[in-house]
Structure 1
């Protein structure tokens, strides 16, 4: 099967990682996979390094033009982002290929509803990565199917872990980590407030925050300074494969206000690291049934209380993390995800 994976994002976040994981797994299963990405993007670079044929488009219009000329030679066009599906749908009268769209967000559609509904109706199959991501399409009368994101086995990077500890003088410290951009929907301000509460009771705890700057960067730095926790809350910026550093953590936390799934949670769970998350979107699905601890969105005290429990109850935490790791192996396997998409592709291509 000839497959084109489409993702025009500039940066490298969960959706871009999932795009490349899907492409790699489908290639390993014997299919011809090409990728169209923004020139100079992280995805384009990584895909090229892995030997994929990579085409370039900058936005929906240039993507539509490229697909109008070349899209017909593929059996399936898989749009991995909202921008990608716009260009793919615009070119449909010319390429006439089946379109799959993976919705990776749970944001409510508050503006442009008519255009979004029409665009989604032009897709041959809309896929949601969680029940939360499926809610808006269902509100529009569509019938998305659920194919969750996946996480591959993670090999700890001992050298990077040792460098992290020595560079920031973290010997003998217990580390609580998060991996999230400093943007409003990730709610770093609530996490910083929770961190200050935890550190009052646990002098050996340091918070590690991996993530690119965003709309809350300035406010986050100001709050850290105001609370006097500059040495207790380390903003380490964007890093490739932060999950390979997770074995250094005593706990992982994600405080999003909106989150379709939270692949960073899956990484931590797969490594049997206890997880605290907010009761929203896909997080509450992933951490259900005792696989993690859930707190009210925006409630710093409840998040701190859960983290305190994790730090203070190692025996109970061990049972929770074993359950979580088994869940990830069963429900979020990369090969299984790729095969589900391939079954869908085959059905649509008949």
Structure 2
């Protein structure tokens, strides 16, 4: 198959990592994979460095123009972001390529245009039951679920030692998260949870890996609660999962979450998890694979972190269940081949327009 991945995000978050991993697996299984991305994006840079053909556009007009001119060259348009879905659906009467969308968020869908584009997408795939239910609410009944995946975590002991020295972690229990400082991750509640934890004990340090729009507000909350010695900011770290061996407990504070692929990294690295039950997180951490508290409840989250720190033998059982679950359900080949099976079903059930072999549309375009 010729597969075009469409992702218009500028930075690098969970959705971009999943886009990139999908591309790697599809190529591993023998398919041609190109990327249509925002000009200058981190997504595009990483894909190009990995040897993929990348088509860059500056805005909606460029994306729609590319799809109108070249969309027919692809067997599947695999859309990974909401803006790209809008533009792929609005031009589908001209490019005629099947549109598959990976829905990675679970918030309520609103608006006539949103309902229109979901109902005119050939196939919507959700990464969790929570995401699937949000799509079914607008009248799309057939929403298969294919969970996100990650590569098995390989810790980097040299980097871990450097980071531990830089942050002064020696002799302290390390609680950490890897997430954007954004509203859906609720970092302000997380600061409150660490404040509540500090009132119970003084033997830990919390490290936040990531950046985002709320960074100054979060730093101000840390200062106001006098947590500077217990709440550390490590910023964005490429391949941050290689540092997971530093952690005693991994934390998620999200108020909204499609699934939570960083929790999968914790599962793979065998780190116990304390999390809110937002969206797909409650699916990942079900059956005692971690501890769940209500979104927004800082006190409950702090209590769960403390329990995991105090009872390592009890936590070890959760870690073992989580690691087994990861191996069975969240490996990259499982995810990739799940998508490829759906692509095959879609193409076998749909009659594609004939393209003359001599036409410039007969093969995917390669940038000059």
Please indicate, yes or no, whether the TM-score normalized by the shorter chain is above 0.5. yes
| Cα offset, 1:9, TM superposition | 0.4
What per-residue deviation string (whole Å, max 9, x for no partner) do you get for residues 93-112 of structure 1?
111111100011112124xx
Displacement of 1:159 after TM fit? 1.9
Conserved 8 A contact 1:59-1:83: no
Contact 2:119 2:139 in 1 (8 A): no
Which residue is equivalent to 1:270? 268
Q: Following the alignment from structure 1 to structure 2, what is the Cα–Cα distance between the partners of residues 41 and 47?
A: 10
Distance 1:66 1:129 in 2: 28
Q: Which residue of 2 aligns with 1:307?
A: 305
Q: Secondary structure at the match of 2:109?
A: coil
Q: How far, CA to CA, are the matches of 2:59 and 2:86 in structure 1?
A: 9
- Is this contact kept in 1: 2:109–2:135, CA < 8 A? no
Matches within 5 A, 1:156-235: 156-214=155-213, 216-235=214-233
CA contact (8 A) 1:287 1:293 kept: yes
Query: What does residue range 13-92 of structure 1 map to in structure 2 within 5 Å?
Result: 13-92=13-92
Aligned residue for 2:108, secondary structure, equals coil
Please provide the CA RMSD for this pair. 1.1
Taking the aligned partners of 1:89 and 1:304, their CA distance within structure 2 comes to 44
Whether the 8 Å CA contact 1:68–1:95 is kept in 2: the answer is yes
- C-alpha separation between the residues in 1 aligned to 2:129 and 2:228? 38
Question: Taking structure 1 as reference, are residues 58 and 105 closer, same or farther at Cα in structure 2, changes over 3 Å only?
Answer: farther
How far 1:24 sits from its partner (Å)? Answer: 0.3
Runs of 4+ in 1 over 6 A off after TM superposition: none
Cα deviation digits, residues 192-220 of structure 1 (max 9, x gap): 11112222333220001011121x32221
Aligned to 2:247: 249
> Which TM-score applies when normalising by structure 2?
0.92
Is this contact kept in 2: 1:106–1:136, CA < 8 A? Answer: yes
> In structure 2, what is the equivalent of residue 340 of structure 1?
338
List per-residue Cα deviations over 1:280-301 (Å, max 9, x = no partner). Answer: 1000010001000001111111
Give the counterpart of 2:285 among 252, 265, 287. 287
Work out whether 1:316 is the aligned partner of 2:337: no
The correspondence for 2:121, drawn from 92, 116, 123, is 123
CA offset at residue 170 of structure 1?
1.3
Give how far 1:91 is off.
1.6
* Larger relative contact order (Cα-Cα within 8 Å, sequence gap ≥ 6): 2
Equivalenced residue count is 347
Contact 1:269–1:321, Cα closer than 8 Å, also in 2? yes
| Structure 2 partner of 1:132 | 130
Does the 8 Å contact 1:130/1:260 carry over to 2?
yes
Deviates more, 1:298-307 or 1:232-241: 232-241
Whether the aligned pair in 1 keeps the contact of 2:247 and 2:271 (CA below 8 Å) is yes
CA distance in 1, matches of 2:271, 2:134: 32
TM-score, normalization: structure 1? 0.97
Unaligned runs of 5+ in 2: 349-368
Deviates more, 1:199-208 or 1:21-30: 199-208
